[in-house]
Chain A
Amino acid sequence: AQKITQTQPGMFVQEKEAVTLDCTYDTSDQSYGLFWYKQPSSGEMIFLIYQGSYDEQNATEGRYSLNFQKARKSANLVISASQLGDSAMYFCAMREGANQAGTALIFGKGTTLSVSS
């Protein structure tokens, strides 16, 4: 079974609109971390936002927020006020287990976001 599921292969949005990218996860661990990364066509993975399983509040970083619904095992990324530069592939990822500082992540298949003017 997939551990990270991103059901939207592609999303299209206009500039200044908000967009939600879906992510569901599957783990039996109590301690885990959830990440969102952006990968532009250059290939580099850019960290956007992190949510720990014990964090009570949803994470926010500028225009990015993570809608964390633990009971539903959902960690959707919300981008407010989309910009043309947001066009990229977006990956949801999870780190399982007690080592919440390791670098081993499980990634979803990604969602391609296209922002138009």
Chain B
Amino acid sequence: KAGVTQTPRYLIKTRGQQVTLSCSPISGHRSVSWYQQTPGQGLQFLFEYFSETQRNKGNFPGRFSGRQFSNSRSEMNVSTLELGDSALYLCASSLAFGRRNTGELFFGEGSRLTVL
């Protein structure tokens, strides 16, 4: 069973540019979320999607946006990149939304973004 796949794994951008990151959840998983990990701030929640709808959003500026497609794949976009956006962006997926389960979330290996 394939895990959560994130592309690209590494990328370098310059300030002011925009970037799109992709996440393919485990087959059958419909809930996807995104996290930003930096040495200073640690792991911070960005957004959560289920059935193409954003269900939850973290405390990030409007430059950070995302979407989910009908096949549950998700993309996140960061516009007008700043140096502080350099981070590891992690995607997680889980089986269900809205009912209790064991709570296991599966993470991808992340996309490491460097902004110069």
Please give the residue numbers on chain A whose beta carbons come within 8 Å of chain B beta carbons, in ascending order: 33, 35, 37, 42-47, 50, 52, 91, 93, 95, 99-110
Contact = CB atoms under 8 A, between A and B. Distances in A.
B24 interface: no
Interface string B92-116: 1111111111111111111010000
A104 B98 CA distance: 12
Interface residues of B, number: 35
B107 A44 contact: yes
Contacts, number: 85
Interface of B: 31-33, 35, 42-45, 48, 50, 55-56, 58, 88, 90, 92-110, 112
Nearest to A105: B45
Contacts of A109: 42
Nearest to B88: A43
